[in-house]
Copies of this chain bind each other. A is one copy, B any other.
Amino acid sequence: MDKIEIKNQISDKINTCTVGLNKRDCFKILNKEERKLIDENTVEINFGAGEIICKQGAFATHVMYVCSGLLKVYMKDNNEQLILKIVPDGNLVGLNSLFSGNNIFLYSIKAYVPSTVKLIDINVFRRIVSSNALFASEIIGILNTNIIQTYGRLFSLTKRQSYGRLAEVLLCLSDRIFKSTDFVLQLSRKEIGELCGMTTESVIRMLKRLKEEDVIRIEGKKFTINNYKQLKKIRDLG
Contact = CB atoms under 8 A, between A and B. Distances in A.
A99 to B, nearest CB: 3
A151 B98 contact: no
Nearest to A9: B78
Interface in A55-80: 75, 77-80
A155 interface: yes
A10 B75 CA distance: 12
Nearest to A130: B137
A156 to B, nearest CB: 10
Interface of A: 8-11, 13-14, 75, 77-80, 82, 84, 95-102, 106-107, 129-141, 143-148, 150-151, 153-155, 157-159, 197
Given A77-B13, A82-B154, A84-B154, A140 B136 contact: yes
Contacts of A95: 144
Nearest to A150: B150
